[in-house]
Chains A and B, each alone.
Chain A
Amino acid sequence: MNEFEPQNLLELPTCKCSLGCPILDRLLDGGIPCNSVTEIVAESGSGKTQLCLQLLLTAQLPVSRGGLNAASIYIHSEFPFPSRRLKQLSSFLLSSSSKDPLDRIFVRAAHTPGELLALLDRAEYLIARSVNDSFPIKLIVIDSIAALFRSEFDNTPTDLKRRSALFFKIGAKLKLQARRFNLAVVVTNQVVDLMGSGDGANGVRVGNYGGLYSSGRRVCPALGLSWASCVNSRVFLSRSDEVVNSGGETEGNVRTRRKMQLVFAPHLPESSFEFVILKEGVFGVS
């Protein structure tokens, strides 16, 4: 018996986790793919965390409704965990019949790359043990990866090298677990502003768009080219505030327009559309 047997592509599982909105699912052709690492990039206040929370809940939906019938792990590094918002969302997204949806979400904080790696090691046991549960763990969300790397590293060649080695280590570990347990992995990332003409290492074009704009500024995903090589797909969320004159009177309302763009994905073409964040969750606008 050889351990290297090629896999039959026709038997490879290709499940996806719905985002809970048909329009959003259309952008991703069914949702977040399992056995793959998907990155959601956006500046703060664009809806990254909202989208992640929504995923934690839709993952619990039965497969017939686009979910994974699964529990999830949520690793946060920025805010305290927004449990009240999650509770609120769960009442809208899941039918009342599902019992204690919040019990199926394992939450932990991590503040350094080392902590994250240690946590992922331990998560492996948790996931392996859950395989035969009625809700096995099928989703890992890391919100956000950029915050882990904010403080520890200087802008020196040695530190940058150490940093990119860690990216690949984290990337490889996530992909290994995604593969072993057929997990969907979602990682959020922040943006940095691009100054001047957009030259320099951050000005390198990655993906379908020549430039990414949010709040009227040219931005690019944090952590650079090395990290971009560690994820399979990248989705960009942006916002722009617009003054809308309601009824032509003196008072002007500020309306936020939100856009979701597919920067790159091995299985999808470039596409983009607007979305809104409501009390009931994140929804695409057709």
Chain B
Amino acid sequence: MEITTLPLSPSVRAKLLSAGYTSFASLSAVSSSHLARDLSISDEEAVAILKVTSQYNTLDRIDGSHSILAGAQTAWDKLHEEKNLRHITTSCEDLDAILGGGINCREITEIGGVPGIGKTQLGIQLAVNVQIPNDFGGLGGKAIYIDTEGSFMVERAFQIAEACIQDTFDNFVFHKNDYEACQEKMQPKAFLANIFYFRICSHTEQVAVINYLDKFITEHKDVKVVIIDSITFHFRQEFDDLALRTRLLGGMALKLMKLAQKYWLAVVLLNQVTTKVTEGSFHLSLALGESWAHACTNRIILYWNGNERYAHIDKSPSLRSASSPFSVTSKGIRCLVSNCKRIKMM
């Protein structure tokens, strides 16, 4: 059993973790005064923590769960947890609707499409939107942006942040004092400063930085989204050993999945498309092949339909397959203006 499963307030949990109390065992031997000193909290609070811990310990014993099952949850618990899951809005209501509210936390979402369809735009939009404060229905988190292709443009991020702040203010009614306080806090520059930007120039660097993320996020607990733009680029160069490539990609996906679960954050991977020829006819498919297709929880494909951009949910364990139009405007990702109500359910 880990501390994170205890019904304690996040601040207390954070204190425990940073003081090195990560497991039940570490708490069972400690006295309340000792704990109070370690966490620099009052004795009463320390007693309360130990009380909760011992309750859970006895509960465990009553259930008769063995150590091998420690940490296991029932499906009921899972469902309850899922209800509390947060989403990161895409700024396009149609797209949010088919995604069930936006990009899910604790999951890996892969987004693919042809060059120029708006993958990077969506990536930047999510890095900005994750920062919308809690009071405005956002997550109030920070973003990690791993740029493997060099397509992240600061001027564009600034533009999108500016528009996002403007829209947030427009949609909420304020008391005058609140407004001024928020306006001071929500500046495009502050939004940019909350995007941790890593530029990666080879696949070895990419693997290394993903290994490093766990450490980085323990130091920056408010990171709520990790965006990799794109996961593919450095893996499409000469890879003589395709088995190695598959192993590297698989390992990377596994680590990202663990991060998503551990820190309750969303992982968004952008992918390129490639043409696949089967029996003389060709079709587009996302790069990196069959085994990679299993690595992500959700898969969204962006495509052109006439002159309109569409997003299609290609794979998801919980969402129904659906498409919705979206557009890329000067403000970022938005609804298609001409036909706001045209979600196709299939």
Interface residues of A (CB under 8 A from B): 2, 4, 6-10, 12, 14, 29, 33, 35-37, 157, 164-166, 168-169, 171-172, 175-176, 178-180, 200-201, 204-208, 210, 224-226, 228-232, 234, 263-264, 266-267, 269
Bound CA–CA A165/B202 (angstroms): 14
Which label, helix, strand, loop or mixed, suits the secondary structure of the B interface? mixed
Bound CA–CA A234/B236 (angstroms): 20
Per-position contact with A for B138-160: 1 when CB-CB < 8 Å, else 0?
00000010000111111111000
User: In the complex, which of the residues A165, A204, A210 contacts B307, with contact meaning CB atoms closer than 8 Å?
Assistant: A210
A6–B202 CB distance below 8 A: no
CB of B208 closer than 8 Å to a CB of A: yes
A225–B196 CB distance below 8 A: no
B116–A264 CB distance below 8 A: yes
CB of B179 closer than 8 Å to a CB of A: no
Q: Distance (Å) between the CB of B116 and the closest chain A CB?
A: 3
A225–B202 CB distance below 8 A: no
B304–A225 CB distance below 8 A: no
Residue of B nearest to A227 (CB): B115
Bound CA–CA A228/B120 (angstroms): 14
9 shortest interchain CB distances as A-B pairs: A264-B116, A207-B116, A267-B153, A6-B196, A266-B151, A267-B156, A168-B237, A9-B192, A168-B236
Chain B contacts for A207, CB-based, 8 A: 115-116
B150–A201 CB distance below 8 A: no
Q: Distance (Å) between the CB of B334 and the closest chain A CB?
A: 13
Bound CA–CA A157/B157 (angstroms): 39
Per-position contact with A for B182-208: 1 when CB-CB < 8 Å, else 0?
000000010011011111011000001
Residue of A nearest to B282 (CB): A201
Bound CA–CA A176/B206 (angstroms): 13
Assess A165 versus B199: contact at CB under 8 Å? Given A9-B193, A206-B114, A232-B150. Answer: no
A269–B330 CB distance below 8 A: yes
Bound CA–CA A172/B150 (angstroms): 10
A169–B116 CB distance below 8 A: no
A234–B116 CB distance below 8 A: yes
Interface residues on B, range: 35 or more
Q: Distance (Å) between the CB of A84 and the closest chain B CB?
A: 35
Bound CA–CA A264/B144 (angstroms): 25
User: In the complex, which of the residues B116, B154, B232, B274 contacts A12, with contact meaning CB atoms closer than 8 Å?
Assistant: B154
A6–B237 CB distance below 8 A: no
A172–B199 CB distance below 8 A: no
User: In the complex, which of the residues B153, B157, B233, B275 contacts A201, with contact meaning CB atoms closer than 8 Å?
Assistant: B275
B201–A175 CB distance below 8 A: yes
Q: Distance (Å) between the CB of A234 and the closest chain B CB?
A: 7
Chain B contacts for A9, CB-based, 8 A: 154, 157, 192-193, 195, 197
Bound CA–CA A141/B208 (angstroms): 32
Chain B contacts for A166, CB-based, 8 A: 238
Chain B contacts for A205, CB-based, 8 A: 114, 304
Chain B contacts for A230, CB-based, 8 A: 233
Bound CA–CA A229/B216 (angstroms): 30
Residue of A nearest to B211 (CB): A4
CB of B234 closer than 8 Å to a CB of A: yes
Chain B contacts for A164, CB-based, 8 A: 236
Residue of A nearest to B153 (CB): A267
In the complex, besides A165-B239, A210-B304, A229-B233, 18 extra interface pairs with C-beta distance below 8 angstroms are A4-B209, A4-B212, A6-B144, A7-B197, A7-B199, A33-B153, A36-B151, A36-B153, A168-B237, A179-B199, A200-B282, A204-B284, A206-B116, A207-B116, A226-B236, A229-B115, A232-B149, A267-B155
Q: Distance (Å) between the CB of A192 and the closest chain B CB?
A: 15
CB of B273 closer than 8 Å to a CB of A: yes
Bound CA–CA A200/B277 (angstroms): 10
User: Could you give 8 example pairs across A and B, Cβ below 8 Å?
Assistant: A166-B238, A168-B233, A169-B238, A179-B150, A205-B304, A207-B115, A231-B115, A232-B151
Chain A contacts for B232, CB-based, 8 A: 229
Residue of B nearest to A208 (CB): B116
Bound CA–CA A229/B277 (angstroms): 18
Chain A contacts for B239, CB-based, 8 A: 165
Assess A264 versus B115: contact at CB under 8 Å? Given A176-B201, A176-B202, A205-B304. Answer: yes
Chain B contacts for A12, CB-based, 8 A: 154, 197
CB of B272 closer than 8 Å to a CB of A: yes
Bound CA–CA A165/B233 (angstroms): 11
B114–A165 CB distance below 8 A: no
Q: Distance (Å) between the CB of B294 and the closest chain A CB?
A: 22
Chain A contacts for B209, CB-based, 8 A: 4
A225–B274 CB distance below 8 A: yes
Residue of A nearest to B275 (CB): A201
Chain A contacts for B198, CB-based, 8 A: 4, 6-7
Bound CA–CA A58/B108 (angstroms): 45
Residue of A nearest to B159 (CB): A267
Q: Distance (Å) between the CB of B237 and the closest chain A CB?
A: 4
Bound CA–CA A204/B157 (angstroms): 28
